[in-house]
């Protein structure tokens, strides 16, 4: 029997409606958003489970599920992400949070649904999963799963055996005694210190997350530490932090399961959350939906995420890993031909994509014309692309050091000496492959022609 990572908590359906806002309503001084895209993903504990499934072979989610349209869509998204769902009965309707966004900015959030856990019975599958777990992460979103008496008894019992990390919520239940780590943010901590909360919750350790400033940690051996963010790609001013707390909790859980100390686990979690935000946040686990309705078949299956997550997931597939990179600001025939030829050199293709900050540094303040999120989604829609990693530097050397591809492909009039990253690729036994470009195709020329 395998030992899964078990996520316990409240799940919901998250929907992003994206469009543009170029005018005010004649009825009131409010922006009018012309919607043109819809993206859906699991939220709450569901998002934590999906993030875990990107690096873990077996992830079990214990959550409440309603038998309604939103609940069915949520279950579809979780199953498609490789998550095994152990469903508790729910009274009421699925919680759905819809964000309306324009030009990368959130304009409004609409919440609907009142679902809470129903009944005191616990499926046998829940006890079985927790009994086999190699680590447990509770993602509490205040809708009753963490307050279930039967689950709480199982969590406290198994927390004596394996790492138990609890991400609390102001409206949720108090963590069970003995948690290996509790991870409130500043709002949830309510101005209490990590040490005060650790004693109050009778936890082995508490880490108060501080956003871009890292985290403050208190452990039962009396150690108090401030964890700052080591070098990671920087997030832009418009970076979406949705899901960063779930990414932090999952990373800490996995580190503790590997035998790392609490401080080491929190340090790795801070880095993971920072990379997650810099790489685009929860956009990487969203699937396309239809405007005016919930549902729709996913149009792509490519992974969009951090370089270490992409590496681990694709390496598990086996075969030859190929990587290429660039700005891809206005995708054209030359780009597509290069990507198809690169994919033919191996079994999986990773695209290292320059972030908006990186493109501006390379091409000037007027670029890019397409945001990093849009450029990434276009690339993910190509059948030849298996994964996209967004990076903030002008050279992808750091990402290549982590990825260690079997081949690094570039197009154009480069020579091996012109590529500073070539030494990194070759130092790990990879090949550098230079492919000729197709004459007549250039993003810069296309953009100049449009602007003229």
Which residues participate in catalysis according to the annotation? 246
Q: Is there a contact between 89 and 118 (Cβ–Cβ < 8 Å)? A: yes
The strand pairing partners of 65, in sequence order, are 89
Residue 275, phi then psi, degrees to nearest 5: -65, -35
322 phi and psi, to 5 degrees? -110, 145
Residue 185 makes CB contacts below 8 A (sequence gap 6+) with 208, 209, 210, 211, 245
What count of other Cβ atoms lies within 10 Å of the Cβ of residue 93? 16
Taking Cα atoms as reference points, which of 240, 247, 39, 259 lies closest to residue 139? 247
The neighbouring-strand residues paired with 62 are 8, 86
Of 14, 13, 16, 15, the C-alpha closest to 102 is: 16
Of 314, 302, 317, nearest to 353 by C-alpha is 302
Assess contact for 72 and 54: CB atoms under 8 A: no
**Strand order across the beta sheet in which 287-288 lies:** 105-112, 96-102, 11-24, 31-44, 287-288
What's the Rg (C-alpha) of the chain? 23
Phi, psi of 387 (to 5 degrees): -160, 150
**DSSP secondary structure string, 367-418?**
--SS-HHHHHHHHHTSTT--EEEEE-SSS-HHHHHHH--SEEEEESS--GGG
Phi and psi torsions of 448, nearest 5°: -65, -40
Region of residue 241 (phi > 0: left; psi between -120 and 50: alpha; otherwise: beta): alpha
Alpha helices in 65-104 (DSSP H): 69-80
Of 329, 314, 279, 327, the closest CA to residue 448 belongs to: 329
Q: Rounded to 5 degrees, what are φ and ψ at 406?
A: -75, -25
């Amino acid at each position: 029997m395998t030992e899964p990572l078990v996520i316990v908590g409240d799940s919901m359906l998250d929907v992003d409606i994206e469009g543009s806002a170029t005018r005010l309503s004649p009825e009131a001084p409010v922006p009018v958003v012309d919607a043109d895209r819809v993206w859906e993903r699991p939220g709450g504990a569901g998002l934590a489970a999906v993030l875990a499934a990107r690096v873990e072979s077996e992830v079990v989610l214990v959550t409440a599920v309603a038998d309604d349209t939103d609940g069915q869509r949520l279950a579809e998204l979780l199953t498609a992400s490789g998550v095994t769902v152990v469903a508790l009965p729910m009274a009421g309707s699925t919680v759905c949070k819809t964000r309306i966004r324009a030009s990368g900015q959130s304009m409004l959030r609409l919440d609907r649904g009142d679902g809470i856990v129903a009944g005191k019975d616990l499926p046998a599958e829940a006890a079985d999963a927790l009994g086999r777990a190699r680590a447990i992460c509770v993602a509490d979103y205040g809708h009753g799963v963490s307050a279930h008496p039967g689950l709480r008894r199982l969590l406290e019992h198994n927390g004596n055996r394996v790492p138990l990390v609890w991400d609390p919520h102001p409206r949720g239940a108090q963590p069970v005694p003995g948690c290996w780590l509790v991870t409130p943010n500043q709002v949830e901590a309510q101005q209490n210190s990590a040490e005060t909360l650790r004693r109050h919750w009778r936890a082995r350790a508490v880490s108060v997350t501080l956003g871009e400033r890292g985290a403050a940690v208190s452990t039962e051996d009396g150690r108090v530490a401030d964890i700052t963010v080591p070098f990671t790609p920087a997030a832009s001013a418009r970076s979406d932090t949705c899901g960063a707390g779930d990414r932090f909790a999952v990373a800490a859980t996995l580190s503790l399961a590997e035998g790392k100390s609490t401080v080491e686990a929190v340090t790795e979690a801070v880095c993971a959350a920072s990379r997650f935000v810099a790489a685009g946040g929860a956009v990487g686990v969203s699937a396309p939906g239809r405007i005016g309705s919930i549902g729709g078949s996913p149009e792509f299956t490519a992974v969009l995420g951090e370089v270490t997550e992409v590496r681990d997931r694709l390496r598990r597939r086996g075969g030859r890993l190929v990587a290429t990179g660039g700005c891809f600001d206005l995708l054209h025939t030359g780009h597509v031909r290069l990507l198809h030829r690169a994919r033919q050199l191996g079994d999986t293709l990773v695209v290292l994509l320059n972030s908006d900050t990186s493109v501006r540094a390379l091409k000037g303040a007027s670029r890019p014309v397409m945001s990093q999120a849009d450029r990434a989604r276009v690339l993910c829609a190509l059948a030849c692309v298996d994964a996209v990693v967004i990076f903030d530097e002008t050279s992808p050397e750091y990402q290549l050091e982590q990825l260690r591809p079997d081949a690094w492909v570039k197009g154009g009039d480069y020579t091996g000496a012109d590529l500073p990253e070539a030494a990194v690729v070759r130092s790990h036994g990879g090949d550098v492959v230079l492919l000729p470009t197709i004459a007549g195709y250039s993003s810069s020329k296309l953009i100049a022609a449009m602007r003229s």
